[in-house]
Chain A
Amino acid sequence: MQSPLTQPSSSDLFKSSINEYLDNLPETVHAQLYKSPETCLAVFRLLPALAKFYIMTLLFQETAIPFLDLNRWIRHKKASGTTHRRNPSKIYQNESIKRLKALNLLKEIRKKLKHPKTGKTAVIVFVQLNPIFRQSFRDALTGFRAGRQLDPNEKITETIEESEAKESGKKGLKSSKDNKSTESTQKNLNALFSDDNAKITVEFLDSYCLSKWENILHFMVGSEIAEYPSIGVLTLLRYSGLMELPSDRQRRENSSSGADADEDFVVDDHYIDGKLTPPSGEELKSLLITKSGFQFLLQTINSQIWTLLLQYLKMSEKLMMNPVDVLNFIFMLGSLELGEGYPIGMLSDTQLIMLEDLIDYGLLYYPRDAASGGKGKIFYPTRLATSLTSEQTNFKTASAALNDQIANPATEADQTRVEGSVIIETNFKIYCYTSSPLQIAILNLFVHLKTRFANMVTGIVTRESIRRALINGITADQIINYLETHAHPGMVKKAEEKYAKKLEFENSIGNTYAADQLKFEILPPTVVDQIKLWQLELDRIEATNGYLYKDFANDFEFEKLMDYGEEIGVILWKDKSHRRFFVTTEGNTQLIDYAKRILRKKGE
């Protein structure tokens, strides 16, 4: 095999896993999901940019449009030269459409139409948006709801306002309308918050969720922590295979089936089925980190949360929780507003169970003592929750902004400035501005650390240090990804400038092919390549599942199929002299479809 199939990079792996999960849901569940506008919004945000564009074009279209019209939007560049026949735009388009179909968002309708002149009947494929999705998404955008359904958000705000009104009544501040009423509202709000004897500000929520989350991570790397995460968290960590009990490890080592070596997520659900008693809390505290746990640590916060939530989804299915309820709740979190309180009254029973768990992860804040005081039961989403459906950089920038505001930068800022602090030079030296033991521990996984200062550690990436990481099960892509996502803003800025300059140059001399091939390099390419080379030293053979096409009847068919396959980028290996080529599993169906189309055309 000439070109090995590169594994999708790790953060994609976790991010795409939520997509995969959604893709594999049955159509009935999709239909139920799309009834909620919040969910539609969240699903929409997870799509590729082109798919979003397609949805927007179809959203206000009452009738179905021909499938070919979707193709017409794409600029078809003639690739220069015969060696690079792959058309990246087309691959991207294919991917976008595949996602839309997998989510049941795009419906194909085949219509037989008569050609107005020749009178021949031809089958033309029309596409239309899923009607349920279209309705909900339109509602989400326009705010108009024909059926006057119960809308959680609206209800929330109403209830909050009601409670405010009540409050103002209690205080005897007769709302004297206009100017004064606004002032009194503010006072009331302040009163409301001070009554809860906890200042629930955005800063408070941020530091709360981060400390909660870092506590979990600290537990994973095994550093000394004052308070252990709750049993729910520990169970989930074990369930998702990120950590394991010493007994698990022994069992795994004993069952010497070598094939299990790369079984990452050891799913042990005996105790869920009730066959075995669940391990006690004390037992769970002795959990050890696994290979996939190491990989998990290298993710960005956002994908870490998604990973856990996904495992939670799988676990909740076993516990017979309604997946629609669970998903709706998760997606709703993304549309809640940071710093606002929401009453728990609007949650379903399933969601109330979830609430408890999400509090443990630091996604929500729920002032317990205040709640028992008879006050309206209100939970607060933290930034971890509200940035769930947004892009990863959001948290980083938000915390950066936070740093400026926090008066006492020594302790808090160090906590929050975990991301965006690594500088790596072409000579493999690494500087990291951090004093967080967690980040140092993570860096220690693949860097040979040399010196430690008050606010910085330095180290060097060596063959040994990388090999150690690789043997631990961390891949080169994960390391590179970690370095990229945690790169110092200065490095990012420099890379952007360099990219813009190169792009401008290539465009100015009209070399569009080279412009396409340009990479956005945050890290020095030498380092990236070297790390990848060190990985290649370890695994020289890579297996890919797929299909071998051979025994073609004639050259024409072979060429036609191979051209198409190359265009959509699914061909891994080819041998022209023997008329053979090898196709990935995913690409196979597409290629077969195409082959059928050719055959049909011939038959006509």
Chain B
Amino acid sequence: MDAIADRAFVGLKGNAKDKYHILDETPSLLTVILDINPLEWKKLMDSNNLRFKDVTSALLVMLNSHMALNSGNKVSLYIANSFYHGAKLVFPSFDDDDNDDSQSPNSKEKVDDNSSLEEEKVNEIVKKKRSRQRKVNASRILETTGIYRQFRIIDETIVDSLDKIIKNEPSNLKSLVGKGETHIKGTLSGALSQALSYINRFQNSDEHSGMKARIVCISVSGDNTLPYVSIMNSIFAAQKQKVSVDVCKLGPNSTFLQQASDSTNGVYIYIKHPLGLIQYLSTALFIDPMLRPMVVLPTNTNIDFRASCFITNKVVDIGYVCSVCLCILSVIPEDEICPTCHSKLDHDLIVMLKRKPRVLPLVKKAKRKRNSSTPDINPVKKFREN
């Protein structure tokens, strides 16, 4: 049968055409994660003269363009690293802040997102009212005179909620400082996993089954804010889901995000000229999942694969690895218990590891890192004291 099929039916365009026909028609979901850590943004603004507003407008144009590609396309936006919310879904918004009269309880809405989506579709009147209400706020900021309605709804929602969040940030920071919390944990990985769950739910829903999805991360914070384990877990989840993670990196370079894009067939771009951001967003970071197999990805090829220490959160070149849970350590904890899996480390082995080098070393048993950079624990010194 195959032989027949080959000769008779594979015509001029036969196979390729089918494939590209699907390629042209399949809608996709674009999820953007925007890092809005205000302190980092302040740094960027001072050094690069880059305003948050510019980035937001570039982002909005990108979302609009994605919607323009195909009318079945969808977008969603998460923010990360804010002081109060942590990671939060901004668009599509389910209006849990507004006390809507005609709405079902918030909890139900959050659980059953599909029905609320449909509800929104059907309940045009409510939507209209909302957009009117929104318009009051957003029109002050947005200079959109005439725009396709679908775009406007997206833009207004996003601008409005971003505005609200940013305005609350100073007071949030104050309350955080007041509580005495000094180390503010980054929530990019939280946003990433939320986004992945959103995509998963989206792809499994009847309405959008088989929809392709990708994530774009606009990140400004450095690696030290990223919790290593959860980001790695998100990467693996993304890999499994076949969702590419593209990274648009402003500010300091990030090792983990490089790894994230590399292992998910994404694009990692370090932005050197942030003023031309829109060009980056509309070319290199705008490759549809369906186009990926045939387009050369403009990504960095030499990637830093180093991991970070589970205790100090710093990137390590050479370190210790727990034999039970494979957690990475730059120093051995004093109590000799693995901080992740709480298994007891072998004392004799640790003593052996910490042994000072002899003048004539016979056999070097294991790797060791001598000048660990943490100020509080210094294994070599401690050993000597013993």
A585 to chain B, nearest CB (A): 12
Q: Which of A137-194 contact B (CB under 8 A)?
A: 139-145, 148-149, 151, 153-154, 157, 161, 182-183, 185-186, 189-190
* 10 pairs of residues in contact across A and B, judged by CB atoms under 8 Å: A8-B13, A53-B288, A61-B279, A143-B142, A143-B148, A203-B122, A339-B124, A397-B208, A529-B9, A570-B12
- Determine if A390 and B70 form an interchain contact, defined as CB atoms under 8 angstroms apart: yes
Cβ of A68 within 8 Å of any chain B Cβ, yes or no, is no
Cβ of B96 within 8 Å of any chain A Cβ, yes or no, is no
CA gap between A427 and B290 in the complex, in Å? 34
- Which of A72-80, A207-215, A291-299, A362-370 makes up part of the contact surface? A72-80
From A41, A44, A60, A520, B278 is in contact (CB under 8 Å) with A60
Cβ of A348 within 8 Å of any chain B Cβ, yes or no, is no
Which of B1, B71, B101, B142: most chain A Cβ within 10 A? B71
Please, what's the 1-or-0 string for B244-284, where 1 marks a CB less than 8 Å from any CB in chain A?
Answer: 00000000000000000000000000000000001100110
- Determine if B9 and A56 form an interchain contact, defined as CB atoms under 8 angstroms apart: no
CA gap between A4 and B13 in the complex, in Å? 11
- Which of B22-30, B85-93, B228-236, B368-376 makes up part of the contact surface? B22-30
Smallest Cβ-Cβ distance to B145: which chain A residue: A145
- Determine if A335 and B149 form an interchain contact, defined as CB atoms under 8 angstroms apart: yes
B192 to chain A, nearest CB (A): 24
B161 to chain A, nearest CB (A): 18
Which 6 A/B pairs are nearest by Cβ-Cβ distance?
A: A6-B11, A151-B146, A143-B147, A143-B144, A390-B71, A88-B16
Cβ of B352 within 8 Å of any chain A Cβ, yes or no, is no
Residues on B facing A (Cβ under 8 Å): 1, 4-5, 7-25, 27, 57, 61, 64-65, 68-72, 101-102, 118, 121-122, 124-126, 128-129, 132-133, 142-152, 155, 206-210, 278-279, 282-283, 286-288, 290-291, 293-296
- Determine if B129 and A53 form an interchain contact, defined as CB atoms under 8 angstroms apart: no
Residues in A with CB closer than 8 Å to B126 are: 186
Residues in A with CB closer than 8 Å to B142 are: 143
Cβ of A48 within 8 Å of any chain B Cβ, yes or no, is yes
- Determine if A387 and B71 form an interchain contact, defined as CB atoms under 8 angstroms apart: yes
CA gap between A536 and B278 in the complex, in Å? 53
CA gap between A157 and B156 in the complex, in Å? 15
Smallest Cβ-Cβ distance to A392: which chain B residue: B25
Known contacts A5-B11, A49-B24, A520-B19; A394 and B71 CB within 8 A of each other? yes
- Determine if A143 and B151 form an interchain contact, defined as CB atoms under 8 angstroms apart: yes
Residues in A with CB closer than 8 Å to B122 are: 201-203, 405
- Determine if B12 and A3 form an interchain contact, defined as CB atoms under 8 angstroms apart: yes
CA gap between A2 and B294 in the complex, in Å? 29
From B10, B278, B290, A3 is in contact (CB under 8 Å) with B10
Please, what's the 1-or-0 string for A513-548, where 1 marks a CB less than 8 Å from any CB in chain B?
Answer: 000110110000110010011001000000000000
- Determine if A56 and B282 form an interchain contact, defined as CB atoms under 8 angstroms apart: yes
- Determine if B146 and A145 form an interchain contact, defined as CB atoms under 8 angstroms apart: yes
Smallest Cβ-Cβ distance to A499: which chain B residue: B22
A440 to chain B, nearest CB (A): 26
CA gap between A91 and B279 in the complex, in Å? 27
- Determine if A536 and B8 form an interchain contact, defined as CB atoms under 8 angstroms apart: yes
- Determine if A74 and B15 form an interchain contact, defined as CB atoms under 8 angstroms apart: no
A189 to chain B, nearest CB (A): 5
Residues in B with CB closer than 8 Å to A393 are: 25, 72
- Determine if B15 and A88 form an interchain contact, defined as CB atoms under 8 angstroms apart: yes
- Determine if B295 and A12 form an interchain contact, defined as CB atoms under 8 angstroms apart: no
Q: A186-B102, A390-B72, A392-B25 are in contact. List 12 more A-B contacts (CB 8 A).
A: A4-B8, A6-B12, A12-B21, A53-B295, A73-B295, A88-B19, A142-B57, A143-B144, A201-B122, A335-B148, A390-B71, A391-B27
CA gap between A38 and B68 in the complex, in Å? 10
Residues in A with CB closer than 8 Å to B21 are: 12
Q: Which of A203-240 contact B (CB under 8 A)?
A: 203
CA gap between A404 and B122 in the complex, in Å? 12
Residues in A with CB closer than 8 Å to B25 are: 391-393
- Determine if A153 and B22 form an interchain contact, defined as CB atoms under 8 angstroms apart: no
Residues in A with CB closer than 8 Å to B144 are: 142-144
CA gap between A498 and B253 in the complex, in Å? 40
- Determine if A74 and B294 form an interchain contact, defined as CB atoms under 8 angstroms apart: yes
CA gap between A493 and B203 in the complex, in Å? 12
- Determine if B14 and A6 form an interchain contact, defined as CB atoms under 8 angstroms apart: yes
- Determine if A140 and B148 form an interchain contact, defined as CB atoms under 8 angstroms apart: yes
- Determine if A185 and B132 form an interchain contact, defined as CB atoms under 8 angstroms apart: yes
A144 to chain B, nearest CB (A): 6
CA gap between A248 and B181 in the complex, in Å? 87
CA gap between A389 and B64 in the complex, in Å? 16
- Determine if B18 and A520 form an interchain contact, defined as CB atoms under 8 angstroms apart: yes
- Determine if B149 and A56 form an interchain contact, defined as CB atoms under 8 angstroms apart: no
